[in-house]
Amino acid sequence: MFGQNRQQLRQFYHDVWQKKQAQQQLNALETSIAQVIETHSEYHQIFNSDASLEQEYFVEDGQTNPFLHMGLHLSLHEQITTDRPAGIRALYQQLLVKFADAHETEHQMMECLTESLWLAQRNNRPPSESDYLVALQNLLTAAK
C-alpha cells in the first residue's frame, strides 16, 4: 500500500484513528485498521499526537513496534479472509477453540508468521507457506 514509506503508513493509521474518533465514514480498509487499533488500548496514546509517529522502536530495548504489531494483525486477517495460504482459515477456527479468545489466537498465530518472515529474510528466500502452516498446526498440539 505504501511500499517502504514508513511515515505515510504511520500517518494513515493516525488519520484512520482520528476519523474513527470523529465518527466519520470509514472505507473497508480503514474499518479494519480502526478495529485493530481499537483492540489495542495500549497504543491509543500514539494516535493523539503527530510527534509520536516519529518514534523509533528497538527490540533490543524490549520495545514492541505498535505499527508492525498492528500490521501483523491486518496481515493475518487478510490471510484468514482469503484462506491464503490454503487451510489457514480452518486452522484459525481450530486454534480459536483451543485458545478460546480471538485476540490471543491471533497473537499465537502472529508468532508463527513473524518466525516465517524472519527465516525467509535470514535465508534470502520467499516465505515458505508449508513451513508456516506446519508451525500453525504445531500450535494445536502444543500444551496450552
Task: Give the DSSP letter string of the chain.
Answer: --TT-HHHHHHHHHHHHHHHHTT----HHHHHHHHHHHT-GGGGGGGG-SGGGG----GGGT---HHHHHHHHHHHHHHHHHT-STTHHHHHHHHHHHH--HHHHHHHHHHHHHHHHHHHHHTTS---HHHHHHHHHHHHHS--
Any domain includes 75: no
Any domain includes 66: no
46 and 9 housed in the same domain: yes
41 and 92 housed in the same domain: no
* Per-residue pLDDT reduced to its tens digit, 51-77: 778 889 998 898 899 999 999 999 999
Higher pLDDT, 49 or 122: 122
44 and 92 housed in the same domain: no
Any domain includes 67: no
Total domains in the chain come to: 2
Any domain includes 90: yes
**Taking 90 as the threshold, does the pLDDT of residue 41 lie above it?**
yes
Domain region containing 9: 1-59
Position 117 scores a pLDDT of: 96
Model-wide pTM > 0.85: yes
Any domain includes 78: no
